[in-house]
């Protein structure tokens, strides 16, 4: 399938990271994207999954109500229409809708839907302030299988770096490029 994400408004700067995740994934892989906005990154990853012919479960978590950063610094008219942003997301991802599962909840509420050690990768790109990023990491990291990855966007943003330092530890977090950070959880040691 041809990529169509370029036609969707958003801040998607990490296609190499998403492509690498799909390349390394095996059948049964379970990926969660926290923060999907209008679906630009979502559409990219879904097409990568389709083209891989792998059985990858893909969940997208968002309230589709914006956040304080977006609402105050970015005038998005869809936020003034009930369900406007969510319906726009659904329109944008329509060609790949059967390959993903939108979960319309806050990050923390959605994390409670998953049992511990059941996910292969969680990508955090919702709110970008210290408290929310810290809370996201704390709530999602236990959901990841040993050897799995917790990752996210906006590595250059100081509140994100501070949250990473205080939750995972700056010596454990790796920089992928494309403004993406990641931490690979250790496998079991016997």
Question: Is 121 part of any domain?
Answer: yes
Q: Which residues of 147-161 are buried (b: 16+ CB within 10 A; e: fewer)?
A: ebbbbbbbbeeebbb
In this structure, what are the phi and psi dihedrals at residue 27, rounded to the nearest 5 degrees? -55, 140
Question: Is 3 part of any domain?
Answer: no
Per-residue confidence (pLDDT) for residue 189, from 0 to 100: 64
Question: Is 11 part of any domain?
Answer: no
Count structural domains, the chain.
Answer: 1
Question: Is 159 part of any domain?
Answer: yes
CA 31 to chain centre: 8
Query: What pTM, to 2 d.p., does this model score?
Result: 0.94
By percentage, how much of the chain surpasses pLDDT 70? 95
Question: Is 10 part of any domain?
Answer: no
The residue whose two tokens read 């995740």 is: 21
Three-class DSSP category at 2: coil
Tell me the mean pLDDT in the region 161-166: 97
Tell me the mean pLDDT in the region 131-139: 98
CATH number at residue 161: 3.40.50.150
Average model confidence (pLDDT) for the chain?
94
Q: Is the pLDDT of residue 72 over 60?
A: no
Band (pLDDT 50/70/90 cuts) for residue 68 is low
Question: Is 6 part of any domain?
Answer: no
Question: Is 1 part of any domain?
Answer: no
Domain of 99, in residue numbers: 19-184
Question: Is 7 part of any domain?
Answer: no
Per DSSP, the residues of 106-136 read -HHHHHTTS-TT-EEEEEE-S--SHHHHHHH
pLDDT digits (tens, 9 = 90+) for 168-178: 998 999 999 99
CA nearest neighbour of 12 among 33, 31, 26: 33
């Amino acid at each position: 399938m041809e990529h169509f994400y370029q036609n969707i408004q958003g801040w998607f700067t990490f296609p190499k990271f998403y492509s690498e995740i799909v390349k390394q994934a095996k059948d049964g892989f379970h990926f969660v994207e926290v923060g999907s906005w209008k679906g630009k990154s979502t559409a990219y990853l879904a097409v990568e999954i389709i083209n891989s012919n792998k059985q990858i479960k893909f969940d997208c978590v968002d309230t589709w109500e914006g956040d304080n950063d977006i609402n105050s610094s970015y005038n998005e008219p869809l936020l003034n229409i009930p369900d406007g942003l969510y319906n726009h997301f659904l329109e944008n991802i329509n060609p790949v809708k059967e390959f993903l599962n939108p979960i319309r909840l806050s990050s923390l509420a959605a994390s409670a839907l998953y049992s511990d050690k059941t996910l292969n990768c969680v990508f955090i790109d919702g709110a970008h302030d210290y408290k929310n990023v810290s809370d996201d990491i704390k709530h999602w990291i236990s959901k990841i299988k040993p050897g799995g990855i917790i990752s996210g966007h906006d590595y250059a943003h100081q509140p994100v770096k501070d949250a990473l330092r205080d939750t995972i530890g700056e010596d454990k977090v790796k920089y992928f490029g494309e403004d993406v950070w990641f931490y690979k959880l250790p496998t079991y040691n016997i």
